[in-house]
Chains A and B, each alone.
Chain A
Amino acid sequence: MAGQTIVDKIWQSHEILLDPGSGESLLYIDNLFLTDSSSFHAFDLIKKEKLPVRNPKQIFGVPDHFASSKSKKLSDIADPDRIARINDLESNCKKWEIHHFGLDDPRMGITHVVGPEQGITQPGKIVLCGDSHTSTHGGLGALAFGIGGQSGHVLATQCLWQKKLKQIRVTVSGSRQNMVTAKDLALKIVSTLGAGGAFGHIVEYAGEAITALSIEERLTVCNMTIESGGRAGIIAPDQITFDYLLGKDFAPNGRDWENAVKFWKTLQSDPEAEFDREVFIDAGSIEPMVSWGNTAEETLPITAYIPDPFSIEDRDRSESLSNALEYMGLTPGTKMTDIKIDQVFIGSCTNGRIEDLRAAANVLKNHTIKVPALITPGSNLVRKAAEAEGLDQIFIKAGCTWGEAGCSMCVGMNGDIVAPQKRCASTSNRNFVGRQGSGSRTHLMSPAMAAAAAINGRLTDVREL
């Protein structure tokens, strides 16, 4: 019998039944996260259907998209709709006795930072959220994916209909060069797979360059899976995973912990397991990466030049690249490091954890920035840790704005936007048209690279700083 992948194992242990008509499985869901930006639709639905929340203790509500980076005060949020949505989440959670980490709760932050940080996300679980970057949680060996409209269904049933997805294994061998981060790895993987290259797939990341990653780095890699079209990214749990989870508030403890670790150790993909596709990448060949277009696929090493769309044969692709260049205000043949930027954003569920802030601080120390930079931690706990280490002082001394935890300028839904035609070096995950605000121009990169760009006011190879 063919072996099972980690995804097969998790799937099997959560499958209640299979509907032959749709080919969809009815899966049991361990945890659902709710954010301020989409959960009101879910609560509206169960209200309309006159149904209760089935398992409130397995649900967690965290306001992150609309949270102000300026302060924790609701009154500092300029827009009544945003305030209303944060209040909706709080009152709905209260009504149904759902865990709620409100704006001033020490555990509040970006949902995908909070889940792992609290030990809610665990290996072998199925974790959902109405947000595509739910793939982040796969860094801990959970099967985690974004759902659009089915949060209401999960609230009412604790289940989800989902067709079993195909699986790709991306094996990253060798070791990274100096100053090459998990973000560079993630951008390299997405540009290799293509923006739609992993459509309908779950991606398992493996190989020594992956197992060498810390949990925070694994979360960064899994976070970007959706940028290749992959629904979920997953990395098998190992000792690094167990060490990370030990002692966390929502992780099992005592006898439960020992049993859990025993179970988690069985989750590795079997050696004889087969994948629908295998992709191999050599970590040693990866340089610091920067995106130049409007998908994360359109990413190049910082040492490269802006490509010429006319050299591409596929007409749709060529036209799409031309549009991207026009939108981004770039000319083919321009050296990446000659591109001037207007501002910098460091944060998000991709790169808003403490290791990311340390990397940025390491570059910014004893420097002054040339363009405005906003740095927002991924959670209140990350903020506290950064302040305990004095990172906030390094940022402030360099001239950066040190903000409050939340999604902030990654998606611009809290009012932190990039103005039309302004160019932002950003550690976030999406460089889509209008992502950081109408007409905004985003270049994706690692925290160290974004910090270097802030210092020079242009895209910069951090290795040469």
Chain B
Amino acid sequence: MEPFVFHRGLAAPIDAINLDTDQILPARFLRKRRSDPEYKTFLFHDLRFDPVGNENQNFTLNQEAFRGATIIVGNSNFGGGSSREAAVFALEAYGIRSVIAPNFGDIFYNNCLKNGLLPIVLTKPQTDQLRKTLHQNPGSRIDVDLNEQRVSTDNGITYAFEINDTAKKNLMSGLGQIGLTMMHAQRISEFEARYNAQLYSEC
């Protein structure tokens, strides 16, 4: 996966709360392989397009200033609902590198980390402020510095964020997770042998 160290990019505000994974990637697209050239159009499909396929101009990503954003600033309960990893594939296909929100669906949050996309938790007032700033200055950029764990806007807002050390290391190295786990192969095998020996044995 692509390493994430520092990213400066166009940021789009999406104000809706409870933007669940069904809305990020409607279920009917789950049968598609990631290699499908249309994959990026599946992102937020039913919010971005009306039933006949015309763009909905109320959706920020369709507005000229926000088109092609690489950072999304969302609202509470972003990515709740269905566990579909493909929701992250759709964000990635569109070019999103980071999503900022007050809180995320657990599974979605982890799926982001495993796929090189940085989910950033800020407080509700902080995300409200960021979205307000973006609405007032459409087309402006945000700097996401994973190393320093800092998000900043060009007009001087800077917020620190938390991320666990392992996730940070993995994102910055771009190493896949299986390889990292395999470094513990010996311990896994020992555990497994012990576990199987006591399964259904007298306790």
Contact = CB atoms under 8 A, between A and B. Distances in A.
Physical interaction between A and B: yes
Interface of A: 13-14, 16-17, 19, 21-24, 26, 28, 37-38, 40-41, 44-46, 49, 51, 65-66, 79, 81-82, 84-85, 130-132, 134, 146-150, 152-153, 156-159, 161, 165, 195-196, 199-200, 226, 229, 231, 252, 255-256, 259-260, 262-263, 266, 294-295, 316-317, 320, 323, 411-413, 420, 430, 432-435, 438-439
B67 to A, nearest CB: 23
Closest 9 CB pairs of A and B: A22-B166, A149-B85, A21-B165, A21-B166, A256-B200, A148-B85, A146-B83, A132-B83, A148-B111
Interface string B6-35: 000000000011101011001110111110
B103 interface: yes
B195 to A, nearest CB: 6
A296 to B, nearest CB: 10
A438 B51 contact: yes
Given A38-B86, A153-B177, A434 B31 contact: no
A430 to B, nearest CB: 7
Interface in B25-58: 26-28, 30-34, 46, 51
30 contacts: A14-B195, A19-B166, A22-B166, A23-B164, A26-B188, A28-B192, A38-B86, A41-B86, A41-B89, A45-B178, A82-B31, A84-B31, A132-B82, A132-B83, A157-B178, A159-B181, A161-B177, A195-B18, A196-B18, A196-B76, A196-B80, A255-B200, A259-B202, A263-B200, A266-B203, A316-B76, A413-B30, A430-B22, A434-B46, A438-B26
B187 A16 contact: yes
A16 B184 contact: yes
A259 B23 contact: no
Given A148-B108, A316-B76, A263 B27 contact: no
A148 B203 contact: no
Contact of A432 (B51, B75, B81, B201): B81
Given A130-B83, A131-B83, 15 more contacts: A26-B181, A38-B85, A45-B178, A132-B81, A149-B114, A156-B181, A159-B188, A161-B177, A199-B77, A199-B103, A262-B203, A413-B30, A433-B46, A434-B22, A435-B22
Contacts of B195: 13-14, 28
Nearest to B177: A153
Q: Which of A150, A165, A262 has the most CB of B within 10 A?
A: A150
A156 B28 CA distance: 28
Contact of B17 (A23, A51, A152, A316): A316
Given A149-B111, A161-B177, A196-B77, A38 B84 contact: yes
A313 to B, nearest CB: 15
B135 interface: no
Contact of A16 (B18, B83, B191, B203): B191
B119 interface: no
B2 to A, nearest CB: 15
Nearest to A255: B200
Contacts of A200: 106
Contact of A320 (B18, B34, B192): B18
Contacts of B176: 49
Contacts of B188: 16, 26, 28, 157-159
A305 B105 CA distance: 30
Interface residues of B, number: 59
Interface in B106-130: 106-108, 110-111, 114-115
Nearest to A48: B176
Interface string B177-197: 111011010011001100100
A41 B34 CA distance: 8
Contact of A195 (B80, B178, B202): B80
Nearest to A435: B22
B167 interface: yes
Contact of B169 (A21, A28, A130, A165): A21
A22 to B, nearest CB: 3
Contacts of A195: 18, 77, 80
B178 A49 contact: yes
Contacts of A23: 164
B200 to A, nearest CB: 4
A382 B16 CA distance: 40
Contacts of B179: 49
A150 B200 CA distance: 28
A464 B203 CA distance: 52
A67 to B, nearest CB: 12
A438 B200 contact: no
B43 to A, nearest CB: 14
A438 B166 contact: no
B108 to A, nearest CB: 7
Contacts of B89: 41
A22 B164 contact: yes
B170 to A, nearest CB: 9
Given A148-B85, A259-B200, A66 B31 contact: yes
Contacts of A45: 178
Nearest to A86: B31
Contacts of B166: 19, 21-22, 24
Given A260-B200, A434-B23, A158 B192 contact: yes
B146 interface: no
B31 A37 contact: yes
A149 B27 contact: no
Contact of B201 (A85, A259, A317): A259
B90 interface: no
Contacts of B83: 130-132, 134, 146-148
Interface string B118-155: 00000000000000000000000000000000000000
Contacts of B22: 430, 432-435
A149 B115 contact: yes
